[in-house]
């Protein structure tokens, strides 16, 4: 019996679980998820470094539309979660038939939804740089980057869905492997697509390296092609190899059922609205930063990329928390759901505190890797160090959100996030950026992240997130 199956059985049989056993479960599910997030971070760093070598304008073009790509990524992630959380509940309850039915129906629903997003995003892409108030010199690259992203939205949707399904069924190992593979492929594709054909000398020997010379557009195409390869492998694992998810002849239906769709909407819609509002807030933030100049846009983008090494482990633990809490909730073990929620949250806070301390001292070297532009480096290091104090409480909000999602509680956390970002961060940033420039925006972010962490800890303590909706 697999370890993930032991966990679900343990929950259903109402066994007492020692703290040592709980920690073992958390580490078993969190470690692959953290490694997956680290691989994703590495991919972002490599992308940023490769594009950064092209100059500040190339970096600014990507930084300009990054919040918009996060918007669409958040929406397709919410769609995937609407179905995968149901899978976590059915696995916890030991209902194999429902698990497979939900997976089949999610494939049809997700593809249909993502095609609508593709069309909408592609149309918006032509107007986006101007809407954000950027310098016309980066419009062309920014539009090309965003439109290529949009063309691959259905591929990204299926990849998200497959990875979430595997995680919520208890398989955290495969998503970790896929993340590493995606990172490796991204480096290869970017190396071939971003730069033109050139000669490289290595150990006194000159080699001719072929390249497409696509620049900024090549960075997005390379990343998208790596997602395509991994999507094929992930769906193969889900459809043919996963005992809980695989599609067998004569079993289940691909036609979306009202009950499954209704629950997917109840879970996913608040998440989608939250992500839309949060990323719209990021777009507004970009609009606040854009008038500060190309250096500020690039520094802001690189600082966000550098910070990701601090918070991505939190997202990995948050994914594990969704799985554990979801299975406990499905097994009707609210005691375990509450205990695991706190354990994963404290684990996330501890890890992100350590990564924040390391980043404070290492960020000069990180920025030296990301960009050769000295002015961009100095601005990025300064604002990132301002924000690192907020990482422990930022971790609390990330992991607690994952735990609450496992119980199907997405509406209230979404409202809390919106109040925090729109009511506090953007209000402060509006005034502070006018007098303090880029530093003002990052100070506003720091205060807001601390506030958000506190209110999520209070919500977690209340236990109301486990109440039946």
What's the average model confidence in pLDDT over 240-263? 83
Strand partners, 200: 207
- Torsion angle, alpha carbons of 255, 261, 262, 263, to 10: 130
Output helix, strand, coil percentages for the chain, rounded to the nearest 5. 85, 5, 15
Nearest to 421 by CA among 465, 380, 453, 385: 453
Using one digit for the tens of pLDDT, what is the confidence trace for 59-117?
Answer: 788 878 877 888 888 889 889 989 999 998 898 888 888 899 999 999 999 999 999 99
What's the average model confidence in pLDDT over 167-186? 86
* Predicted pLDDT of residue 166: 92
Q: Taken in order 75, 216, 178, 366, is the CA torsion positive or negative?
A: negative
* Predicted pLDDT of residue 27: 78
Residue 363 has pLDDT above 70, yes or no: yes
User: What is this structure's pTM?
Assistant: 0.78
Residue 281 has pLDDT above 60, yes or no: yes
CB-CB neighbours of 172 under 10 Å: 26
Q: 8-17, 206-215, 295-304, 439-448: which has the minimum mean pLDDT?
A: 8-17
Separation between Cα atoms, residue 205 and residue 446, nearest integer Å: 50
Q: 135-139, 236-240, 404-408: which has the minimum mean pLDDT?
A: 135-139
- Contact between 274 and 418 under an 8 Å Cβ cutoff? The reply is yes
* Predicted pLDDT of residue 149: 94
- 10 against 99, higher pLDDT: 99
Residue 469 has pLDDT above 60, yes or no: no
* Predicted pLDDT of residue 455: 97
Separation between Cα atoms, residue 317 and residue 399, nearest integer Å: 6
- 119 against 308, higher pLDDT: 119
Residue 2 has pLDDT above 50, yes or no: no
Residue 52 has pLDDT above 80, yes or no: no
- Torsion angle, alpha carbons of 272, 278, 279, 285, to 10: 170
Q: Taken in order 305, 311, 317, 319, is the CA torsion positive or negative?
A: negative
* Predicted pLDDT of residue 210: 82
- Torsion angle, alpha carbons of 201, 206, 210, 214, to 10: 30
Give the chain's mean pLDDT. Answer: 86
List the structure tokens of 99. 């698990």
Residue 390 has pLDDT above 70, yes or no: yes
Share of residues in the chain with pLDDT > 90 (%): 40
Instruction: Spell out where 232-351 has E strands.
Output: none
Q: 108-117, 149-158, 323-332, 434-443: which has the minimum mean pLDDT?
A: 323-332
List the structure tokens of 248. 């067998």
- Contact between 107 and 261 under an 8 Å Cβ cutoff? The reply is no
* Predicted pLDDT of residue 113: 93
* Predicted pLDDT of residue 272: 85
Q: 40-44, 263-267, 356-360: which has the minimum mean pLDDT?
A: 40-44
- Give residue limits of the domains in the chain: 3-466
Q: 10-24, 88-102, 240-254, 276-290: which has the minimum mean pLDDT?
A: 10-24
Residue 341 has pLDDT above 90, yes or no: yes
Residue 267 has pLDDT above 60, yes or no: yes
Structure letter (DSSP) for residue 331: T
Residue 252 has pLDDT above 70, yes or no: no
* Predicted pLDDT of residue 44: 65
- Contact between 129 and 64 under an 8 Å Cβ cutoff? The reply is yes
């Amino acid at each position: 019996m697999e370890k993930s199956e032991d966990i679900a059985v343990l929950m259903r049989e109402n066994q007492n679980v020692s703290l040592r056993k709980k920690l073992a479960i958390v580490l078993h599910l969190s470690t692959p998820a953290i490694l997956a997030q680290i691989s994703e971070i590495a991919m972002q760093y490599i992308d940023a470094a490769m594009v950064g070598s092209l100059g500040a304008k190339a970096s600014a073009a990507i930084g300009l539309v990054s919040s918009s790509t996060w918007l669409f990524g958040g929406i397709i992630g919410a769609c995937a979660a609407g179905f995968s959380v149901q899978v976590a509940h059915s696995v916890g309850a030991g209902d194999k038939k429902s698990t497979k039915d939900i997976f089949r129906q999610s494939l049809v629903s997700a593809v249909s939804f993502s095609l609508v997003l593709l069309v909408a995003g592609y149309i918006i892409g032509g107007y986006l740089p101007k809407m954000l108030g950027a310098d016309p010199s980066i419009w062309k690259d920014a539009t090309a980057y965003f439109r290529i992203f949009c063309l691959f939205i259905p591929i990204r949707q299926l990849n998200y869905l497959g990875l979430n399904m595997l995680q919520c069924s208890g398989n955290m190992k495969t998503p970790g492997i896929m993340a590493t593979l995606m990172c490796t492929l991204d480096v290869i594709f970017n190396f071939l697509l971003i730069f033109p054909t050139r000669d490289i000398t290595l150990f006194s020997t000159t080699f001719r390296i072929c390249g497409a010379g696509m620049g900024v557009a090549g960075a997005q195409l390379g990343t998208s092609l790596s997602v395509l390869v991994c999507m094929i492998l992930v769906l193969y694992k889900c459809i043919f190899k996963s005992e809980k998810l695989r599609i067998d002849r004569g079993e289940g239906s691909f036609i979306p059922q009202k009950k499954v769709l209704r629950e997917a909407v109840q879970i996913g819609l608040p998440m989608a609205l939250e992500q839309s509002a949060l990323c719209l807030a990021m777009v507004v933030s970009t609009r606040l930063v854009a008038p500060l100049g190309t250096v500020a846009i690039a520094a802001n983008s690189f600082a966000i990329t550098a910070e990701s090494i601090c918070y991505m482990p939190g997202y990995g633990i948050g994914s594990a928390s969704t799985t554990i809490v979801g299975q406990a909730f499905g097994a009707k073990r609210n005691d375990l759901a509450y205990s695991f929620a706190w354990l994963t949250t404290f684990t996330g806070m501890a890890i992100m505190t350590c990564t924040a301390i390391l980043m404070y001292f290492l960020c000069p070297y990180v920025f030296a890797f990301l960009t050769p532009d000295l002015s961009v480096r100095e601005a990025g290091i300064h604002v990132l160090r301002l924000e690192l104090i907020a990482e422990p409480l930022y971790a609390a909000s990330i992991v607690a959100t994952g735990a609450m999602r496992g119980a199907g509680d997405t509406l209230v956390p979404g409202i809390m996030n919106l109040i925090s970002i729109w009511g506090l961060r953007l209000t402060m940033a509006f005034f502070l950026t006018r007098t303090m420039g880029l530093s003002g925006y990052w100070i506003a972010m720091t205060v807001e992240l601390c506030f958000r962490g506190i209110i999520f800890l209070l919500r977690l303590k209340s236990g109301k997130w486990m109440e039946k909706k």
